[in-house]
C-alpha cells in the first residue's frame, strides 16, 4: 500500500522582550535560580498581571512576516491545569480569538516552491522549570526565573507531507523569527520548541488517519529523525492491519525512538475561560501598519536581492539567507568584493563546514567577514594556493589573526616572481635530463613529473600555473 504522510507543527518561541509578559521582571535566560521573579510571576495571592505591550508588538511582527491577518480585537484566556512549575495553576494564553490567523510560509522542496498554511499565532506565558533531584533525593525543586517569559505559539496547517518538509518549514520559520529579532530561537536552550502532529493515510483517501503528537525534539535534525521514525511506525502498524492509538509520544534522542507519554483519554480539560484580570487587546490599524513599515528585509526578499546584486546562483542565495547571521556575514564579505561567487563558495564551503564540525555559532567562529574577503583576494592575486588558503583559514578561526600575517607565519606565500621561477625550472630541467628527453619523445606524462619536481624544489610555494607555463616555454 502507498501511504501519504500528513504533518502539522506547533512551534513555541520565547520572545526576547526586555521584561516578562505580565510583570516587570527582566526576561533573561539563565541567572541564579529564583532571582528573576516577583509576586506576579510567582502567582502570589493578590498579585495581578499587566500585559507587556512589546509582547503584542513582537507577536504582530511575527504575524505580519508570516502573512497573517492581525485581529484588531482579541483577548486572553486562562488555561487551567496543575503542575508545580505553573505558579498560578493556570497559564495566560489565547483560546478562541488569537492575535494572528490565516497566514502562510513558503518553503522550497526539490527546487519547487510550496506554501504551508499557518492557522494561528497566539501569545502566552512560559512556565517555570522543574529541577528534579537525583535518585537519592526524593524531591524536585522549581526555578521560577522562566515563569512568565513571553511566548508565541505558531500553529501550522496540516500541509506538510514529509519529515523533510517539516524540517524545511521549521528551518525557514526559525530564520524568519531571527530576522525579525524577536526570538533567540535556540532549540537546545528551549527558546524555540516544536511539537509535531503526524498521521498517515493510504494515498487517495480523503480523511486523515489517526494522529500522534510528538514532543521533545531539540534540534532540526531531531525533528526530522523523530518524524521519520514515527512515519515508519504508523506505516508498519497500518500495513500489519493494526490501528494507531491517538496519543502524545516523546522523542528519545539517545535511543532514536518515540515513547508513549499519555493517550487521549487521559488528556486534560483545560477549562478555558476569558482572563478576567486583563482587558481585551484592541489594536489600531495605524499601529499595525507602522509595525509593518518597520519590518526588516526577510529571507525571501534577501535571497532575490543576493541573486541580483551579487550574481550568485539561486541555490547559493537560498542557503546564505537561511539565517540572518549567515546572510549578514556573507554580505559584509561580498559587498565591494571583486569575486562574490568565490565569497559564496567559501561561506557555503569552509565556513559552514567548520561551524558544523565544531558545532559552533557563526559569532563563535572568530573570523571577521572582511578578513575572509582578503583571504579570497590573496588567492585571486596568486599569493596563496587554494590548499594554502584552507590552511590559513584553519589558523584564522583558531587564532583570530589576519590572513596576511598567517600566510608568512605558515610560510605559504606562493612564488609568483617569474624570474625566480625560471631559474628554479632551469635547475630542475638540468637535474632531470631523462624526463626532458622522454617528454620530447612524446611522453606527455613526463610533464606532470617535472611540474611535481619543480613544486618540490620550491617547497610547494611556487605558483603551479606559472610553473606549467614556464616549463612548456622552456621545453618547446
Partner 1 sequence: MNLYSLTLHEIRDKMRNGEISSKEVLDSVYKRIEEVEDKIGAYLTLTKDYAYEVAESIDRRRLKGEELGDLAGIPVAVKDNISTKGIKTTCASKMLENYVPPFDAHVIEKLKDAGAIIIGKTNLDEFAMGHSTENSAFKITKNPWDLERVPGGSSGGSAAAVAADEAYFSLGSDTGGSIRQPAAMCGIVGFKPTYGAVSRYGLVAFASSFDQIGPFAKDVEDCAIILNYLYGHDERDSTSLPAEYEDFKAALNKDIKGMKIGLPKEYFAEGIDPEIKDLVLNGVKVLENLGAHVEEISLPHTKYAVPVYYIITSAEAFSNLARFDGVRYGYRTKEYKDLEELYVNSRSEGFGKEVKFRILLGTYSLTSENYDYYHKRALKVRRLIRQEFDEAFNKYDVLISPSYPIVATKFGEQSENVSIAYMSDICTVPINIAGIPAMSIPCGFSKGLPVGMQIMSKAMGEAAIIKVAHAFERNTDYNKKKPSL
Cell numbers found for residue 117? 498554511
- Of partner 1, Zn ion, none, which one sits near residue 272, judging by CB under 5 to 8 A according to partner kind? partner 1
The smaller minimum CB distance to partner 1, of residues 26 and 420, is found at: 26
- Of Zn ion, partner 1, none, which one sits near residue 277, judging by CB under 5 to 8 A according to partner kind? partner 1
The smaller minimum CB distance to partner 1, of residues 78 and 302, is found at: 78
The smaller minimum CB distance to Zn ion, of residues 28 and 438, is found at: 28
Least separation, in Å, of the C-beta of 310 and partner 1? 50
Select from 18, 26, 48, 417 the one that contacts partner 1 (CB under 8 A): 48
Least separation, in Å, of the C-beta of 18 and partner 1? 17
Least separation, in Å, of the C-beta of 198 and partner 1? 24
The smaller minimum CB distance to Zn ion, of residues 43 and 373, is found at: 43
Select from 51, 107, 155, 421 the one that contacts partner 1 (CB under 8 A): 51
149 binds Zn ion (CB under 5 A): no
Who contacts 196 (Cβ-Cβ below 8 Å, separation ≥6)?
7, 8, 9, 10, 166, 213, 214, 217, 223, 226, 227, 230
- Of partner 1, Zn ion, none, which one sits near residue 41, judging by CB under 5 to 8 A according to partner kind? Zn ion
The smaller minimum CB distance to Zn ion, of residues 41 and 214, is found at: 41
Max CA distance (Å), the chain: 100
269 binds partner 1 (CB under 8 A): yes
47 binds partner 1 (CB under 8 A): yes
Least separation, in Å, of the C-beta of 50 and Zn ion? 11
The smaller minimum CB distance to partner 1, of residues 228 and 277, is found at: 277
Least separation, in Å, of the C-beta of 302 and partner 1? 39
Select from 109, 278, 348, 422 the one that contacts partner 1 (CB under 8 A): 278
- Of partner 1, Zn ion, none, which one sits near residue 279, judging by CB under 5 to 8 A according to partner kind? partner 1
Least separation, in Å, of the C-beta of 272 and partner 1? 8
Distance (Å, whole) CA 365 – CA 36: 31
* Interface of this chain with partner 1, residues 131 to 170, rule: CB under 8 A: 142
SS3 string of the chain? CCEEEEEEEEEEEECCCCECCCCCCECCCCCCCCCCCCCCCCCCCCCCCCCCHHHHHHHHHHHHHCCCEECCEECCEEEECCCCCCCCCEEEECCCCCCEEEEEEEEEECCEEEEEEEEEEEEEECCCEEEECCCCCCCEEEECCCCCCEEEEEEECCCECCHHHHHHHHHHHHHHHHHCCCCCCCCCCCCEEEEEEEEEEECCCCCCCCCEEEECCCCHHHHHHHHHHHHHHHHHHHHCCCCCCCEEEEEECCCCEEEEEEEHHHCCCCCCEECCCCCCEECCHHHHHHHHHCCCCCHHHHHHHHHHHHCCCHHHHHHHCCCHHHHHHHHHHHCCCCCHHHHHHHHHHHHHHHHHHHCCCHHHHCCCHHHHHHHHHHHHCCCCCHHHHHHHHHHHHHHCCCHHHHHHHCCCCCECCHHHHHHHHHHHHHHCHHHHHHHHCCCCHHHHHHHHHHHHHCCCCECHHHHHHHHHHHHC
Select from 72, 245, 279, 282 the one that contacts partner 1 (CB under 8 A): 279
The smaller minimum CB distance to Zn ion, of residues 147 and 199, is found at: 147
Select from 202, 242, 256, 274 the one that contacts partner 1 (CB under 8 A): 274
User: Do 21 and 55 form a contact (C-beta atoms < 8 A)?
Assistant: yes
The smaller minimum CB distance to Zn ion, of residues 51 and 154, is found at: 51
* Interface of this chain with partner 1, residues 66 to 95, rule: CB under 8 A: 78, 80, 82, 84, 87-90
* Interface of this chain with partner 1, residues 25 to 44, rule: CB under 8 A: 39, 42-44
The smaller minimum CB distance to partner 1, of residues 141 and 257, is found at: 141
- Which of 179, 200, 172, 185 lies closest to 115 in space, CA to CA? 172
Give the other-Cβ count within 10 Å of 189's Cβ: 12
State the virtual CA torsion across 276, 278, 279, 280 in degrees, nearest 10.
-90
* Interface of this chain with Zn ion, residues 10 to 49, rule: CB under 5 A: 23, 25, 38, 40-41
Least separation, in Å, of the C-beta of 229 and partner 1? 30
- Of Zn ion, partner 1, none, which one sits near residue 25, judging by CB under 5 to 8 A according to partner kind? Zn ion
- Of Zn ion, partner 1, none, which one sits near residue 63, judging by CB under 5 to 8 A according to partner kind? none
Q: Going residue by residue from 380 to 409, which x/- string records binding to partner 1, judged by CB under 8 A?
A: ------------------------------
Which residues of the shown chain bind Zn ion in the complex (CB under 5 A)?
23, 25, 38, 40-41
Residues at the site binding partner 1, with contacts judged by CB under 8 A: 39, 42-51, 78, 80, 82, 84, 87-90, 142, 269, 271-274, 276-279
Amino acid at each position: 500500500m502507498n501511504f501519504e504522510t500528513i504533518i502539522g507543527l506547533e512551534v513555541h518561541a520565547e520572545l526576547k522582550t526586555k521584561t516578562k509578559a505580565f510583570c516587570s521582571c527582566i526576561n533573561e535566560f539563565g541567572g541564579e535560580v529564583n532571582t528573576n521573579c516577583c509576586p506576579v510571576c510567582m502567582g502570589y495571592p493578590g498579585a495581578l498581571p499587566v500585559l507587556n505591550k512589546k509582547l503584542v508588538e513582537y507577536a504582530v511582527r511575527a504575524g505580519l512576516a508570516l502573512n497573517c491577518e492581525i485581529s484588531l480585537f482579541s483577548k486572553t484566556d486562562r488555561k487551567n491545569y496543575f503542575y508545580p512549575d505553573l505558579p498560578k495553576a493556570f497559564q495566560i494564553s489565547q483560546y478562541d480569538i488569537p492575535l494572528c490567523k490565516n497566514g502562510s510560509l513558503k518553503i522550497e522542496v526539490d527546487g519547487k516552491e510550496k506554501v504551508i498554511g499557518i492557522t494561528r499565532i497566539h501569545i502566552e506565558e512560559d512556565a517555570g522549570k522543574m529541577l528534579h533531584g537525583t535518585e537519592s533525593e526524593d524531591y524536585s525543586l522549581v526555578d521560577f526565573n522562566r515563569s512568565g517569559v513571553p511566548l508565541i505559539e505558531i500553529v501550522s496547517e496540516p500541509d506538510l507531507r514529509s519529515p523533510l518538509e517539516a524540517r524545511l518549514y521549521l528551518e525557514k520559520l526559525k530564520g524568519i523569527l531571527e530576522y525579525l529579532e524577536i526570538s533567540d530561537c535556540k532549540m537546545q536552550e528551549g527558546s524555540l520548541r516544536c511539537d509535531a502532529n503526524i498521521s498517515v493515510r493510504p494515498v487517495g483517501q480523503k480523511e486523515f488517519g489517526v494522529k500522534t503528537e510528538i514532543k521533545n525534539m531539540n534540534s532540526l535534525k531531531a525533528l526530522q529523525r523523530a518524524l521519520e521514525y514515527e512515519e515508519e511506525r504508523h506505516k508498519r502498524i497500518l500495513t500489519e492491519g493494526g490501528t494507531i492509538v491517538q496519543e502524545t509520544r516523546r522523542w528519545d534522542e539517545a535511543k532514536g525512538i518515540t515513547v508513549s507519554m499519555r493517550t487521549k483519554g487521559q488528556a486534560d480539560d483545560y477549562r478555558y475561560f476569558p482572563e478576567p484580570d486583563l482587558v481585551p487587546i484592541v489594536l489600531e490599524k495605524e499601529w499595525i501598519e507602522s509595525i509593518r513599515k518597520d519590518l526588516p528585509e526577510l529571507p525571501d526578499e534577501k535571497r532575490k536581492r543576493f541573486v541580483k546584486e551579487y550574481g550568485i546562483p539561486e541555490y547559493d542565495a537560498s542557503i546564505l539567507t537561511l539565517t540572518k547571521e549567515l546572510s549578514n556575514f556573507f554580505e559584509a564579505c561580498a559587498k565591494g568584493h571583486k569575486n562574490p561567487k568565490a565569497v559564496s563558495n567559501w561561506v557555503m564551503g569552509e565556513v559552514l563546514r567548520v561551524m558544523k564540525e565544531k558545532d559552533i555559532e557563526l559569532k563563535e567562529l572568530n573570523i571577521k567577514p572582511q578578513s575572509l574577503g582578503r583571504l579570497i583576494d590573496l588567492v585571486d592575486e596568486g599569493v596563496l594556493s587554494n590548499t594554502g588558503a584552507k590552511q590559513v583559514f584553519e589558523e584564522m578561526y583558531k587564532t583570530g589573526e589576519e590572513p596576511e600575517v598567517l600566510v608568512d607565519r605558515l610560510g605559504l606565500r606562493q612564488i609568483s616572481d617569474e624570474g625566480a621561477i625560471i631559474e628554479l625550472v632551469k635547475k630542475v630541467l638540468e637535474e632531470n635530463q631523462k624526463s626532458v628527453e622522454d617528454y620530447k619523445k612524446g611522453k606527455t606524462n613526463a610533464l606532470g613529473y617535472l611540474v611535481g619536481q619543480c613544486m618540490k624544489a620550491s617547497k610547494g610555494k611556487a605558483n603551479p600555473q606559472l610553473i606549467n607555463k614556464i616549463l612548456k616555454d622552456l621545453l618547446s
